[in-house]
Structure 1
Amino acid sequence: MRLFADVGVNVLLVALLAQVCFSMPRPDPDCQRFRGMASAAHQLQQVSIKLLRAMRAELGPVEMDDYRLEHLPAMNFSIDHLCTLTLNESLYELYCGSSLFKLSVDWLDSARAAGRQSLLNQTSVHVTRLVGMTGDALKRLQQEVPPPPAPSLPVVLHSFNVLHYSFEVAARLKLYCDWSKRLLLRVMQLSRCTSALPHLRNLAC
């Protein structure tokens, strides 16, 4: 009888443990995906900072207005603007902007920017990852993924031009990553994700 009693207790304990496990809140896959995108944007920003430092060391003081790449995305940092965006609009803007930077980085990489291929390759890997993750998120929302952008890029004639273009892309990419992280914080708010990442700033909407 003691054996049957022990077995009964063990079965009861297993049943209680299973009930506790099933009642515990499970991580939301969308929230995990958005946190992964925020982490990818943060890693991309770190690489862009390295590229920017390399360009500063090569060029010295540079005026941003001297070389303006008009195809790069505009960024509105105002809280009022970010708080009006829907989930679909936020992901759409992130996808289009990241795609433009991917195109720009690959263009500079193909131009062989004065021995900076290693940093450009790293940048391309990270921005490609962000584009892919954002595209997958749009598909999960049953949204149409925009076609790849096809802007008119400048004709690079000299390596010095490539350096200037690399500087501008790196500087604006660094800023874009900061904007992207704020945008992703808005995405997580809309998705009711309970916890953000340490490198994401507060966004009071």
Structure 2
Amino acid sequence: MTSAEMFEAFSDEWGGGGGKRGGQAAWALMLEWRRWLMTQVMCHTPSYKRELLHFVHTNIITHTYRPHTGLRGTFVYYSRSTKMKLIHESALCLLRLLLLVELFARSSAHPGQNFSLCSVFGPMIHQVDKLINSSKRLHGLTEDDLKHFEGMDHKLESLPHIRHTAVHFSSLKVNESLSLLYGYTESFKLHVGWLKTVRENFSLPFQSDEGAINHLSHLSNLINTSLHQIKEDVPLLPSSSPFPDVPTAFDATRLSVEISEQLKVFCRWSKRVLLLFRRRSGCGRH
């Protein structure tokens, strides 16, 4: 397929009003056209030479129409300076055309791309990494101490139940996932804030709680910003949850272990989701 044929096919697809399928077909044709142009500009292949001759034949006003074999013969007997001028001018035209395609590719809305979110994916992932470290220190216990809490029943039914199966990840959508991520973040912030109050009441260390609350707040603000950027409503959340009574310091420590484990699950899920959407959106690493 020549450059003219590719451009004509692309124009038909893009301007034909084919809906989502037509837009995707036009996008695929445009990418194919861009690859073809780059090949022609960078590589002096026989195809390049043929297309260049065709370009000269159809775009130089003073050129007289002749059969393709005659054009080739005429071109061969041009002077060296004339041939170089024609090649130089044609190559410049191809380069300009390539630049126009690149500009169009960057400005067009591809169905799977969310360029406006590229600036927040990196900071969100960074906050999740910090939150992972905070979640590991939330209970303040050593590995040996943690063994005493293995197998204990979970008491906090109000904690988010996060689905992280392969089927679930394959069906994720940006707007729904960001809303879900925002709800999970706010829920954990509420639980860690409650845990901090409980630990204060029993004179237990709570510095790790403050660190986790800080990272959750930053993450929540970033998600809020991203929802506004894609014009999605920020979910309304309950102001409080039904927390259980905590009669002893041991119960407070047990609950800190439970929240810590669930927070780590949340962090792993969040990072996987954010990396997935950053890759789908075509964002570079920031």
TM range, smaller chain? 0.7 to 0.9
Which residue in the other structure is 2:228 paired with?
A: 139
Q: Distance in 2 between matches of 1:162 and 1:58?
A: 15
2-side partners of 1:188 and 1:155: how far apart?
A: 41
Judge conservation of contact 2:121–2:278 (CA < 8 Å) in 1.
Answer: yes
**Aligned partners of 2:247 and 2:275: how far apart in 1?**
41
Residues 51 and 119, structure 1, Cα contact 8 Å, conserved in 2: yes
> Cα deviations across residues 139-175 of structure 1 (Å, max 9, x unaligned)?
2211111123333111222222111111100111112
Q: How does 1:32-181 map to 2 (within 5 A)?
A: 32-52=119-139, 54=141, 60-112=147-199, 114-149=203-238, 150-181=240-271
1:18 — aligned with what?
Answer: none
Count of residue pairs the alignment pairs up: 171
Q: Deviations over 1:101-133 (max 9, x none)?
A: 100000011112552211111111111111111
Q: Which amino acid is 1:112 matched to?
A: R
Whichever residue aligns with residue 274 of structure 2, its letter is L
TM-score, scaled to structure 2: 0.55
What residue identity is the alignment partner of 1:151? Answer: S
**TM value normalised by structure 1:** 0.74
Using the aligned pairs only, state the percent identity. Answer: 29
Q: Give the structure with higher Rg (CA).
A: 2
Whole-Å separation in 2 of the counterparts to 1:83 and 1:67: 29
Structure with larger RCO (C-alpha < 8 A, sep 6+): 1
Distance between the aligned counterparts of 2:243 and 2:164, measured in 1? 26
| Structure 1 Cα separation of the partners of residues 139 and 204 of structure 2 | 14
For residues 170 and 159 of structure 1, the distance between their equivalents in structure 2, rounded to whole angstroms, comes to: 16
Superposed CA RMSD:
2.3
Gaps of 5+ in 1: 1-22, 197-205
Unmatched tracts of structure 2, length 5 or more = 1-102, 107-114
Give the 4+ runs in structure 1 shifted more than 4 A. 55-60
Matched residue SS, 2:138: helix
Instruction: Quote the Cα distance in structure 1 between the aligned partners of 2:247 and 2:145.
Output: 18
Amino acid at match of 1:45: I
1:69 counterpart SS class: coil
Give the residue type in structure 1 aligned to 2:250: F
Are the counterparts in 2 of residues 90 and 187 from structure 1 also a CA contact under 8 Å?
no
1:48–1:133: structure 2 CA closer, same or farther, 3 Å change rule? same
Q: Is the 8 A contact 2:117 2:229 kept in 1?
A: no
